[in-house]
Amino acid sequence: MSTRCIIAIDGPAGSGKSTVARALATRLRFAFLDTGAMYRAAAVAVLESGGDVADAVACAGIVKRHTISLDPDAFPPRILLDGRDVGIRIRDPDVSAASSPVSASPEVRAILVQAQRAFAIDHPLLVTEGRDQSSVVFPDAEVKVFLVARLEVRAARRAAELRSKGVPADEAEVLHAIQERDLRDSTRTTSPLREVSGSLRVDSSELSVEQVISLIEAHLPVGAARP
């Protein structure tokens, strides 16, 4: 078995990254890193401090005063803000909306990218997901996947996910919010969402999680899986 195998999965909101990455990590018995959860925790810190999410420097100042970490003993790892589990709070719609402008701050990104690379040093067999994992954080990842899905499909998935948590969700509103977030995440100056050459492009619109995983597994380097 290889001593290091990083599987980087990037894609827009609702493309199925988290579900696929988590299931793949379970199957391979790799660690799992949800980098979106880290940006969401940063947004919680900014919201709780009453900071302006559009002020990149102020956001970084707030984030620096807090500790965003992952408890790797849990699977999936619990996301902690100053040791407090914010796993539920980070999925609230106000945090979803705030996470996009907060993640556009280059200084916030520098802090979280460093934490992500440190996590990979401790967990060299890793499935990681986000927007910049293949392009910026792990450009030397052994496997790079760009996961996409049609906008309507992504909105339907997000709405269903919210409803399953008891949060009322109007599909048209969810679609609009995703569209705005996509635009901001892919047009920002620092580390925009982009497909890198050499990545495996998978459109999950008509595929089950199992089918997506099979496509990725077919691209794993020989000996990547644990025995």
Point out which residues bind ligand DC (CB under 6 A): 13, 35-36, 39-40, 99-100, 103, 130-132, 181, 185
Which CB atom, from 131 or from 157, has the smaller least distance to ligand DC? 131
Q: Is the Cβ of residue 30 or residue 131 nearer to ligand DC in the bound state?
A: 131
Question: Minimum distance between the CB of residue 82 and ligand DC, rounded to whole angstroms?
Answer: 19
Q: State in angstroms the smallest separation of the CB of 28 from ligand DC.
A: 21
Residue among 72 and 192 whose Cβ is closer to ligand DC: 192
Least distance to ligand DC from the beta carbon of 115, Å? 11
**Cβ nearer to ligand DC, comparing 51 with 227:** 51
| Cβ at position 165, least distance to ligand DC in Å | 14
Spell out the SS3 assignment of the chain: CCCCEEEEEECCCCCCHHHHHHHHHHHHCCEEEEHHHHHHHHHHHHHHHCCCCCCHHHHHHHHHCCCEEEECCCCCCEEEECCEECCCHHHCHHHHHHHHHHHCCHHHHHHHHHHHHHHHHHCCEEEEEECCHHHHHCCCCCEEEEEECCHHHHHHHHHHHHHHCCCCCCHHHHHHHHHHHHHHHHHCCCCCCCCCCCCEEEECCCCCHHHHHHHHHCCCCCCCCCC
Least Å from the CB of residue 72 to ligand DC:
18
**Which lies closer to ligand DC via its Cβ, residue 36 or residue 76?**
36
